[in-house]
Chains A and B, each alone.
Chain A
Amino acid sequence: MADNRADTRVSMRTPLARVKGLGASGHGVEHWWIHRMTAVSNVPLIVAFVIIVAALAGSDYPQALAIISHPLTAIILILAVISVANHMRLGMQIIIEDYVHDKGLKIAALIANNFYAVIIAVACLYAILKVSLARILV
């Protein structure tokens, strides 16, 4: 198909917009990039998470407290929660944007998605910190 534009080198975009490269949304590739970055960080953190959970499976209350409140375990779990919560929030946003076409419903679903991710993250982080700090303070 013929390109009928007078000069294809001429763009409607301002030089500033072009150099910033953030596109129409103003976010550029931020969503995509953080999704990939958290995917990479998830791999070692999930491997550690699986080992920790396997160790917890048969443990009683004092043993579970000791495992979760150990600084190394607590730090790994905190990192895992931050990485996973962001990754799942971005992933679910893509699914909502793909399948929910009704505008009002889409906005409601996107808000609910963010709320859910934050609630999960805060609940996990609070519990890890409470258990960990209790061990130091008591």
Chain B
Amino acid sequence: MAEAKVAPRPLSPHLQIYRWSWTMAMSIFHRATGSALYLGIALFAVWLVALASGPGPFETVQWFFGSPIGILILFGYTWVLMHHMLGGVRHLVWDFGHGMEPAQRINMARFTLIGSIALTVLIWVVAFIAF
């Protein structure tokens, strides 16, 4: 049997070709943060199952989340969660056909990053004061 010849067709350029733009970066961030949350929810499941298992397992898990590594994970988790939430709201606005103009979409993309950082800091400051 003769091998089928593949014509040397031009390929569409990929990520490394393009100049980074806000909308492109925030689109990638949205997918990346979604994937991180997908794995990160397992931490919450572990925490809940430990709580349901008894004081021993609970103390172990609570100790881990209170350690420097645990706090760092929770802080990162907060930012990832806020970023994905604001990114999702941005996508919902687009789904309704609003915010499609160049200036609007760049401002919305910037707001996603700035807003998520602001919310993360706010949550941690309030959590420290209130609890």
Contact = CB atoms under 8 A, between A and B. Distances in A.
Genuine A/B complex: yes
Interface of A: 36, 39-40, 42-43, 46, 50, 53-55, 57-58, 60-61, 64-65, 68, 84-85, 88, 91-92, 95, 120, 123-124, 126-128, 130-131
Nearest to B31: A95
30 contacts: A39-B91, A42-B88, A43-B85, A43-B88, A43-B89, A53-B44, A54-B123, A54-B130, A54-B131, A55-B131, A57-B65, A57-B66, A57-B74, A57-B131, A61-B59, A64-B51, A64-B62, A68-B48, A68-B51, A88-B34, A91-B34, A92-B34, A92-B35, A95-B35, A120-B45, A124-B45, A126-B52, A127-B45, A128-B48, A128-B52
Contacts of B20: none
Contact of B44 (A65, A91, A124): A124
Contact of B49 (A85, A95, A123): A123
A40 B92 contact: yes
Nearest to B45: A123
Contacts of A57: 65-66, 74, 127, 131
B95 interface: yes
Interface residues of B, number: 33
A58 B41 contact: no
A97 B118 CA distance: 34
Interface of B: 31, 34-35, 37-38, 41-42, 44-45, 48-49, 51-52, 55, 58-59, 62, 65-66, 74, 78, 81, 85, 88-89, 91-92, 95, 123, 126-127, 130-131
Nearest to A89: B38
A53 to B, nearest CB: 8
